[in-house]
Amino acid sequence: MSDLSAAAAVAIFVATYAIVALGKIPVYRIDRAGAALLGGALMVASGALTLDEAYRTIDLGTITLLLGMMIVVANLRVSGFFGIVNDWSARRVRHPLGLLVAVALATGLLSAFLVNDAICLVMTPLVLDVVGRLKRDPIPYLLAIAMASNIGSVATITGNPQNIIIGSLSGIPYTAFAAALAPLSAFGLLATLALIALVYRREFLAGETLPAIKEPPPRYHGPLLIKTVLVVAAIVALFFLGEPVAKVAIIGGAFLLLTRRVKPEKIYREIDWPLLVMFVGLFIVVGGLEKTVIRPNLQAIAGGLHFDNDALLGAATAVLSNIVSNVPAVLVLKPFIPNLPDPRHAWLIVAMAATFAGNFTLVGSVANLIVAERAKAEGVTLDFWSYFKIGAPLTVITIVAGLLWLG
């Protein structure tokens, strides 16, 4: 491979990741998905990869799993499932702290099995509606959604996009992954609740009671709701029984499209197509860099980074995740992990640190940005510092706990 191709690959990689990190560039309207797709196309155009090599860099298992889970979540949303969960919780809590616990636990548990970005998209307007009716400060509840979704999602392979990639690359069984990281997820949810309650003491520790909600319960689509819940239960059971997660997810999602009552277009509108495009593009961009730069110099680069040390690997993952976001960070680390003494253990460290690092700042994960943008659309501003004063210590606490637990 020529020095010119290697230089071109590095330039394309840096430019692509810069746009992915910033979310946009001046003048042009290109977004993260467009930047990733353009970067992948330029890798082929520059000669860093042939078209066939570009195809082979795409992890179809990851794309398949993500698409299947998106279809499942879309059916849950259309059926009214999330509204029922939210309303049921709100009608049974009598104190603000109880409402906070309900929001965090519902978000965390749903994010553990369904893709957390989709859960944030659904839960934010529902929670804001309840909080508005109860006349409470919306900010701590928005923080609970964002942080609990990140922390809850660390528990399983299907919790977030980076875990989906790690599950596909590592081959770690679903049950083994959950056994290693679910206890950390539970600890993180408790830490989240404690920090939010302490920072917002007037909201949660003043002993106030909440008025009863008198509005009628939310509407739902009964047959679709029952069918979707049964399919989700079957999917989760098959995950734990060791069936291939991508196969189970796409079969379950495809089965849910077989209906006489709901037009498929309604489900398709709920799917995050740009996220799938971004994944495809990033796989190709990283594949180009891996072929031209990383693979020829793998031993030298890996020796200098000392990724065989858990603390250094966790710290590097956390820092990289906050620079370029967690999904791109995992893809950058992909070439180095298989060469470590215990790749399976290293992948668990990366999954833990990349996900918990998303809580450090408001722009640390896509889930956070979804909450902020959805709240802004409802007239509520979640600012950087309100997030940082809880997110930063929470990130440090959970990553340290994770290193101790996995060590």
pLDDT tens for 117-153 read 889 988 999 899 888 888 889 999 999 999 999 999 9
**Structure tokens that stand for 199 in this block:** 């920072």
Report which of 364, 363, 355 is spatially closest to residue 402, judged by C-alpha positions.
Answer: 355
Residue keyed to tokens 């009863």: 212
Count: domains in the chain? 1
**Structure tokens that stand for 380 in this block:** 């509520």
- The pLDDT, as a whole number, for residue 203 is 84
Range of the domain at 245: 3-406
Residue 21 vs residues 97, 238, 246, 364: alpha-carbon distances, Å: 35, 36, 28, 9
- The pLDDT, as a whole number, for residue 299 is 58
Q: How far apart (Å, rounded) are the C-alpha atoms in residues 33 and 27? A: 17
- The pLDDT, as a whole number, for residue 133 is 84
Q: How far apart (Å, rounded) are the C-alpha atoms in residues 282 and 327? A: 9
- The pLDDT, as a whole number, for residue 229 is 94
- The pLDDT, as a whole number, for residue 394 is 97
Single pTM value for the model: 0.84
Report which of 157, 154, 148 is spatially closest to residue 181, judged by C-alpha positions.
Answer: 154
Which residues in the chain show pLDDT less than 50?
none
Secondary structure of residue 23 in the 3-state scheme: coil
Amino acid at 69: M
